[in-house]
Structure 1
């Protein structure tokens, strides 16, 4: 079929081109690369020209130094040791995320929608709502650790009660049977056991038990391992696969078959936690109707988390609850999918198979359907059944911060989750604008790894950045510079100075529906049946 935006042209203003020549528009480099990967043409308009009616003219922008952009996003305050200065990796993370958000805004504009969301703020919204802080090798959420092994480092995520239940078995396999009697706690037992094992051994044993554990990989090595090769990836990572091929390697196709901007978009969201719901939330901001579908026996675990965060991502969405263990519940789900323009799911392949759902068959049956699969390592390849969450998936790609002594530290809060949610939303909306009929396969590891660009090794602490604590003179020099709002630090880079802002969050537009509140109405309207 080719690429969804083949035949669509976007205009860049002359001021943007000038900024690119000066090296100050990394955001537009990233946006242009993403648009090209989706099949669009990007041209530069001369100063005296008026833009044609069928193209989009992006507003000019100037990118700050990478360290300053990271500081202003709120993510820097979540990166680094708990008892020291925050860290900024020497890689243009925010430029790439801002570029992705710019593309999303342009695509939303083709449908007459204005989306005003700051990409950087997305990284810290959960932390801002929950009051999370940086912990260095301990994740902001507290459930994950970066631990040394005999020959490297691993990221271990024990955020679920079931993960802790499996620890005795894991440590027994590792040759440590003293977990129950350990005098301090589980993390000390794990640290002691892993120090004498290889990273590969730790990961293989943990994944065998279904635990989210990953080796902290060098970026170039990650993009060339057996999983990456099986998925057609190469260094640097593409953020997602489109119809089984990494973006950038898909033939352009024959042309663009646009969906009328007045046609409503129906999104059926089968995902949970953060990345998938963020994708659905952003599509909702772009004008889509979102129907969230949950199992009555196993609803979204985020419902038991901070209510404000759940409301932020789900307010305004319909809530449908089905018993997917019954034929009637599964049939109702299939009928809902048959009415959807976009389906978002975040299940490992075997879970969909158990439900009798085959994305390839549904895409063949519904030519305008866009299917978005979000997994830890991808729907294909030898690691397709592996478990991953945002912190460990980022570490598996090499997206970590590195302290002055070489110790890896987590970057922001479960960074792979919001990054994946944003890229998934861009890909989904591009497919809708192009008429649908595509499968977006996005892995947390690959989306996170794409932010590293061509950096082959773990990103160092930015050598051009200097940190200093907020002083009395800083606090008195103007509004918004108090230690409470800056997290107590300033960063200097490229002759400029900026406060290290604390993470922030938007105000939820309302309250999320209770579980299954809209089931009867939605099924009567869209599935032609009452719930079974």
Structure 2
């Protein structure tokens, strides 16, 4: 059994302990279990150089290894532009692997950032910027407006909801949350109890409603590059100036042009196991940068400056992962029957199978609460 480096599970438990304390025990989840929650619901397993979900791969480059995702419908076209050749939309990997093998990781990263492709060389990153929490604060009764999608941002919103916040999820007509097409139980787990609003930023009335919704929010969560938000007419600095907390989740920070998803970000940051003998890297966990970042974001959102000012939390998924890595030797493992154990100074520690909570109920259909939410906040309907 391959053991990953660092202390991701320990860090996850530290974060949920903080959330439990700040929320007055309203949040009682186990951070280590959250890391494998989606895998448990979807029955995902480790697959070596292929991610558990199958949409990211570790490929050898001319000078090392790289993690490359092909998760969105238009990714085969973008990856084809990256290598300068047309790719098979069903199986783009053989041609992509040939190109990657002949090029250095730095060139891959440069092209990926230019084209908006989720890819990067695997290397041990030093943590550059991971903000520290400020004064703890309860969020019960606060309004959270969540523009994020997939896992990290919605997990943050879910945890704030467990702590008593009112969560409004915002989608646009042309781009609903891609996680709606995934495991329905997992989507319901993260979104049950949240209100769903759909507004069109291409329409002037829709943009006005979006702006008013942000003005009403105590906490805003988003996972977009700043220029994309500007295209919606949303201004993080203005929201912070009036006292809101703005949670910005990106692959490598707001100043970076890189995009990324949980699998490629974690692997590129250095959170991979290595096959004994060959040293070939292997994925660990399921998109593990996502839950680590969601937990981190929730802890930060449940804190604020002591004087009540607004704050912009610039959260880099890469730095969150890098913050869990250490230079400590990777422990050895042993197998007894069908069970695996990690050997430690305190004795063997059993390796648990992924666990998941049971969804309390269904998630709202996209846009189901638009009229009611706008009316409750006295925002004119578009």
CA distance in 2, matches of 1:328, 1:200: 44
Q: 2:92 aligns with which of 161, 169, 186?
A: 186
Q: Within 5 A, what are the aligned runs for 1:170-319?
A: 170-172=82-84, 177=85, 179=87, 185-220=91-126, 223=127, 233=128, 238-240=129-131, 247=132, 264-319=141-196
Match of 2:254 in 1: 379
Alpha carbons of structure 1 residues 189 and 325: separation in structure 2 relative to 1, 3 Å: same
Matched, 1:97 2:9: no
Report the CA distance shift for 1:527/1:146 in structure 2 as closer, same or farther (over 3 A).
farther
Contact 1:348 1:375 in 2 (8 A): yes
Shift of 1:434: 7.0
Selected match of 1:140 from 49, 52, 69: 52
Please name the residue that 2:333 is paired with. Answer: 466
Which digits, 9 at most, give the CA deviation of each residue in 1:200-223, with x for residues without a partner?
Answer: 112222332211111111233xx4
Q: Tell me the alpha carbon deviations over residues 401-436 of structure 1, each in whole angstroms, 9 at most, x when there is no partner.
A: 222121111121111100000000000011288735
What 5-or-longer segments of structure 1 have no aligned partner? 1-84, 224-232, 241-246, 472-482
TM-score normalised by structure 2 residue count: 0.93
**Is the 2:68–2:118 Cα contact (8 Å) retained in structure 1?**
yes
Gaps in structure 2 of 5+ consecutive residues: none
Indicate the SS of the match to 1:219: coil
8 Å CA contact 2:10, 2:32 repeated in 1? no
Q: Deviations over 1:53-73 (max 9, x none)?
A: xxxxxxxxxxxxxxxxxxxxx
* Superposition deviation, residue 496 in structure 1: 2.5
**1:62 counterpart residue number:** none
Inter-partner Cα distance in structure 2 for 1:358 and 1:429: 21
Kindly indicate whether residue 356 of structure 2 is the aligned counterpart of residue 489 of structure 1. Answer: no
Larger CA deviation: 335-344 vs 306-315 = 335-344
Q: Which residue of 2 aligns with 1:329?
A: 206
1:342 aligns with 2:219: yes
1:511 aligns to 2:378 (yes or no)? no
Does the 8 Å CA contact 2:211/2:233 hold for their aligned counterparts?
no
Give 1:262 deviation, angstroms: 8.9
1:373-409 CA distances to partner (integer Å, 9 max, x unpaired)?
01111112xxx22211111111232222222121111
Partner of 1:114: 26
**Counterpart in the other structure of 1:48:** none
Alignment correspondent of 1:391: 263
Distance 1:527 1:440, change over 3 A: farther
1:457-513 CA distance string (max 9 Å, x none):
xx76x2x42221x52xxxxxxxxxxx5xxxx53444336334322211101111111
User: CA separation in 1, counterparts of 2:121 and 2:79?
Assistant: 18
Question: Is residue 370–residue 432 contact of structure 1 (8 Å, CA) maintained in 2?
Answer: no
Q: How many pairs align? A: 381
Q: How far off its partner does 1:271 sit? A: 0.6
**Counterpart secondary structure, 1:153:** strand
Indicate how the Cα distance of structure 1 residues 371 and 167 shifts in structure 2: closer, same or farther if over 3 A, else same: closer
Contact 2:4 2:271 in 1 (8 A): no
Deviation of the 1:178 alpha carbon: 7.6
Q: Which has the higher contact order (CA 8 A, sep 6+)?
A: 2
Alignment root-mean-square deviation, CA: 2.3
Q: 1:99 offset after TM fit, Å?
A: 1.4
